[in-house]
A and B are shown apart, each in its own frame.
Chain A
């Protein structure tokens, strides 16, 4: 009895630093945000409990559902493109070609370069007067006058996705490459002996065996992309006229731009709910995969 008790205490003692860290860095701010979302805290020093008023306001204002929808679309395209390019990149990097290591190294810069620098670089490339993209398109005669990509809603929306993909692809590629390399060579040799072609082997061996990695990466990427702030903020600050305002930008603009802390907190709580849902899906998927393996 005493030995089990001391073992429990010992385990708790070992966990204490991590628990303390989570309490201070995660649990308390989260709790405080939820509390804040029920108040009218703002630049003027008020802190009155207002019930569901903030939530009622943001959902009745009209543009919030639009922001949610835009965030989901933005995230969907960004994650899907990252997964597709990441997988294609992993397949190419896994091929036995001369200079393989060099190519693997060359995939890294977008990930290694400090994010803000990379984003500024894209900002200049998107520039209508001096930007490389507009310049090249004019040189090739595809467009006739300068094209300020970030100045129009549609093109700005896609431009932010392209930059997000550029930054996110290396990690996906490397992760997929590692998963691909952990598949035993024998399986491919056996399939090749049985007459399975390249595409057939990819479809029936590579993809199913990488499924845990694909699901994990998709959901982790989904959460990161959903919360992606710096790319949009540096490139467009959510504009022009809100066309790149995702939930996280919207929250920031409300809380820090308009100094409506209470309402901003309410918007942040909605983000939390979405991310929690994503996490639940992730854990369910992982559990299902594990059960599938045991079956």
Chain B
């Protein structure tokens, strides 16, 4: 049975529809990441689940109970805010104990729960300090501690790592994953960073303009994106897109005219795309130097040498940006034409509406 279930969930602010009929099921113990660009509605969706935003339409069910009209505290959730939302005038101890004080639990119980949370989060030596004296990572842990002590059914995280520097972010990412393993609770995590989504999630929900673009495991989204948006959003560097027109689709092969790049024949069973304008997608890491199943020549404007791999940025004759990612340090130079190729089975094809064609 799913622990959280969203049914045709809607949110409007005056005339503007922010969330447009979302259906989603989250199972117990799952780590679900809502990812999408700024303004896609992911934070609003999380705040609706938390009970901080009213629902304009549809239903939110937690453990089978409709919670639309319940206040946050009765929903069995705990939320970690992007800004941490720590009380600056209270000690770390009192910050973590806050929800327990609200519940008026006896002091012994408060001590035990705060102590246990502090131990898990390695904050024991910091309990008497004020938040102002802590580093960003420690503040983050205090905010998580305040969520843990409530022993919620579902943890909600609103971009919790976005205020940390890159090194600390990857460290906290691992800590959060370990915490998830240890607690086994359901966690819903909002981020705009697709690397966080890919590394942490059991299930990724890609949101775009208030709608779900695709739901799936990280590798599923990477290998089988349903549409152009997901294909472009998941993966770094971004997938390359080349426009073309289908000349022939006979149920076994689709022959596509790529203009000055030539013609490519892809194994596709769909015949509906015949005559359509389509988009080809190829990930930068699937390109190789030299000849292959399909080759093209480009001139890199910029070459980035990262040691472990080399990234080239060029522009195709049709105006599309074209990124290549190659292992090691091949001899590539800016302004010098280079021959690249890719295998046909790595090519993604999207129809005129941007939906994947198989």
- A→B interface (CB under 8 Å): 184, 186-187, 189-196, 200, 204-205, 208-209, 211, 292-295
Contacts and interface: CB of A to CB of B under 8 A. Distances in A.
B103 interface: yes
B99 A194 contact: yes
Contacts of B352: none
B83 A193 contact: no
Q: Which 3 A-B pairs have the closest CB atoms?
A: A195-B73, A194-B99, A190-B85
A190 B102 contact: no
Interface string B115-150: 000000000000000101100000000000010001
Interface extent on B, as a size class?
20 to 34
Contact of A194 (B102, B130, B132, B133): B102
B85 A194 contact: no
Contacts of A193: 50-52, 72-73, 77-79
Contacts of A184: 83, 85
A222 B294 CA distance: 84
Nearest to B101: A204
A189 B130 contact: no
Interface of B: 50-52, 71-73, 77-79, 81, 83, 85, 87-90, 98-99, 101-103, 130, 132-133, 146, 150
A65 B185 CA distance: 70
B277 to A, nearest CB: 47
Given A194-B146, A204-B98, 14 more contacts: A186-B85, A187-B85, A192-B72, A193-B50, A193-B51, A193-B78, A193-B79, A194-B98, A194-B102, A195-B72, A204-B87, A204-B101, A209-B87, A209-B89
20 contacts: A184-B85, A189-B85, A190-B79, A190-B85, A191-B98, A192-B52, A192-B72, A193-B73, A193-B77, A193-B78, A194-B99, A194-B146, A196-B102, A204-B87, A205-B87, A208-B90, A292-B89, A293-B130, A293-B132, A294-B133
Contacts of A187: 85, 87
A208 B94 CA distance: 13
Contact of B103 (A190, A195, A204, A211): A195
A39 B46 CA distance: 77
Contacts of A293: 88, 130, 132
Nearest to B50: A193
A192 B71 CA distance: 8
A208 B72 contact: no
A193 B77 CA distance: 8
Contacts of A196: 98, 102
A186 B88 CA distance: 12
Contacts of B79: 190, 193
B130 to A, nearest CB: 6
A191 to B, nearest CB: 7
A189 B81 contact: yes
